[in-house]
Chain A
Amino acid sequence: MHSVISVKALNKKIVTSSEKSQQESLIENPIVFETDDLNLWYSDTQALKNIQLPIYEKNVTAIIGPSGCGKSTYLKTLNRMVELVPGVQTSGTIKYRGKNILDKSFKVEELRTQVGMVFQKPNPFPKSIYDNIAYGPKIHGIRNKKILDEIVEQSLRGAYIWDEVKDRLKQNAYGLSGGQQQRLCIARCLAIEPDVILMDEPTSALDPKSTLKVEELIQELKKEYSIVIVTHNMQQAARISDYTAFMLNGELVEFTDTNTLFSMPKDKRTEDYITGRFG
């Protein structure tokens, strides 16, 4: 039901912008991540098959698909967090700003400094709100208290949570609500000024009100950051993303701008999924 409504709403949008101009915008945006022929195995099971996908700068790219389709796996490959799973093997290339990150000589810490991540469940450290934000800058060598203070304020403001926490920076982060914790985690990510922010179903553990806040935040963030978001929620993808990739059984079925994907999907499987026939 819902998807039908949103598709209708999208159709309206499309009237204003022709398909051609969208095609052009696809070409114009600089590419941050260029994935080429990516395969990934968890021991014997192949989780990703020949993925071919560009991620555009300062846009929101949503990855949708049913559970187990490999969307989270793909996301975690972008900052190589997937390596934490024992027995993972990959082939193909993912170029981040021209350099293949799957190359073992690519320093993973450097990659993750550039490519931040927000997780499904808010995972603040069991420290004060201040220390949560200051953790990243500190491990990257910033010791000056004044600079740290500034970074903390700036990051919390950037995640629109400053006003809620400015009077209790020294209190434990676990005293915050789930939605606040998630925005705190986004602020923690902003504190090291990444280039890309990966979000793994960031609102799936949140109530609708907190979800809305995070979605609004994402809209703000894309002015400065490139965002890749995995989501279970098609409406969310339709609302907040510029590009959408649909994955199924480890394959990338379709990737295009969000309007086109939700209004005129080329592939039958995409259509079935977004109209709610499965998934």
Chain B
Amino acid sequence: MLVESKRSKQKPVQVSKWIAENKSSKKSILLLEKSIPYFLFFIAMISILTTVGIVLVLVTETYEFFTRVSFLEFFTGKVLRPLSQNPEFGILPLINGTIISSVIALLVAGPIGIMTAVYLSEYASDRVRRVLKPMLELLAGIPTIVYGFFAFTFVTPLLREFIPGLGATNILSPGIVMGIMIIPMIASLSEDAMSAVPNAMREGALALGATKLEVTFRVIIPAALSGIIASFVLGASRAIGETMIVTIASGSSKNFTFDLTQSMQTMTAYIVEVSGGDAPTGSTIYYSLYAVAMTLFCFTLLMNIIARYVSRRFREEY
């Protein structure tokens, strides 16, 4: 006791002394404080400059491509024959394949993802949620090559039991598997958005005699809509940019068709095929890579712009 009271008497003196002694080092700290913003700015610029660089390369090489193939032919051509004697470069089959596979993926992932999110945020007990959510997010960590393999060796044969005409490579199976792949993303982000809706909203609705389902669908989901839409768009972007699954399970036929049992090629899979093959630098087929990549880039950019607009439009402030 005695010792303690002694210490507490001495303490104030010691602290101020200590601060005074350390003041000498303050100058270097000040310098560090001042230089840190510049340093961090430089670090931040790395990713920005890289992006700008990539876009610049895309633009110049795409421009080169369009000096050889007309803009109109590229965007309206239904035939893609880059390796034939008289090659044709119509991107429509690739756009078609990309959109179809992404739409299938969203049709699978959308409802399942939302329902999973509803269960986790509104119905599951804390304990269940604490176990399930990390498991779900783990699913997002599976390499896409595994999903591709899974689509090719498991889902396609399974689907063939029901759809006899299904090709060994087809767009349906990778579409479904891509959907499975983006379920965790949609579920997890939507769950975040729904959990962020204040409990007071639930109480307010319940106190009016609403059932849990009515609270969920008429209060929680509308209130979380901007987050849910954002999760959909992110999922769609992911599906559009997905490469391995479609490359493996959808083959490389450049069909322009709406028949889901057929093999189709997406923009990403085309880039894999051509850059994996021997496209001599400077050839038209080499430049077509950049034109397709540019189109892909515009697609995802457009998605992001739509997402921003839509989520702002539907935002319910609380």
Which residues does A use to contact B, with CB under 8 Å?
Answer: 79, 81, 84, 86, 109-113, 116-117, 119, 121, 123-127, 135-136, 138-140, 172, 174, 185, 188-189, 192
| 8 closest residue pairs by CB, A with B | A126-B316, A113-B209, A123-B200, A117-B207, A126-B318, A112-B209, A136-B208, A123-B204
* Inter-chain contacts of A123 with B (CB < 8 A): 198, 200-201, 203-204
Contact of B211 with A by CB under 8 A: yes
Indicate if B137 sits at the interface (CB-CB under 8 A): no
Q: Given A121-B200, A123-B201, A126-B317, is A139 in contact with B207 using a C-beta cutoff of 8 Å?
A: no
Contact A84 B208 (CB under 8 A): no
Residue numbers in B under 8 Å from A127 (CB-CB): 222, 316
Once A123-B203, A126-B201 are accepted as A-B contacts, the answer to whether A113 and B316 lie under 8 Å apart by CB is: no
Interface pair A140/B209, CB less than 8 Å apart:
yes
Nearest A residue (CB) for B200: A123
Instruction: Give the docked Cα–Cα distance between A24 and B200 (Å).
Output: 41
**Is the CB–CB distance between B208 and A125 below 8 Å?**
no
- Docked pose: A123 CA to B198 CA in angstroms: 9
Please determine whether B209 and A125 come into contact, CB atoms closer than 8 angstroms. Answer: no
Q: Complex formed: what's the CA distance from A86 to B127 in Å?
A: 12
Q: Do A188 and B208 form a contact, CB below 8 Å, given A121-B200, A126-B316?
A: yes
Total interface residues in chain B, CB < 8 Å: 21
- The answer to whether A81 and B207 touch across the interface, beta carbons within 8 angstroms, is yes
Supply 7 further A-B pairs (C-beta < 8 A) apart from A112-B208, A125-B205.
A123-B201, A127-B316, A135-B219, A136-B208, A136-B210, A185-B204, A188-B208
State in angstroms the CA–CA spacing of A135 and B205 once bound together: 8
Write the nearest CB–CB distance from A50 to chain B, whole angstroms.
Answer: 27
**Known contacts A126-B317, A139-B218; is A81 also within 8 Å of B206 by CB?**
yes
Q: In the bound complex, what is the Cα–Cα distance between A17 and B35 (angstroms)?
A: 80
- CB-defined contacts of A86 to chain B, threshold 8 Å: 125
CB distance from A118 to the nearest CB of B (A): 8
B204: chain A residues within 8 A (beta carbon): 119, 123-125, 185, 188
Chain A: minimal CB distance from B81 (Å): 54
A135–B211 CA distance with the chains assembled, in angstroms: 13
- Pick from A109, A126, A127, A188 the residue with the most CB of B within 10 Å: A126
Q: Which residues from 198 to 228 on chain B have a C-beta closer than 8 Å to any C-beta of chain A?
A: 198, 200-201, 203-211, 214, 218-219, 222-223
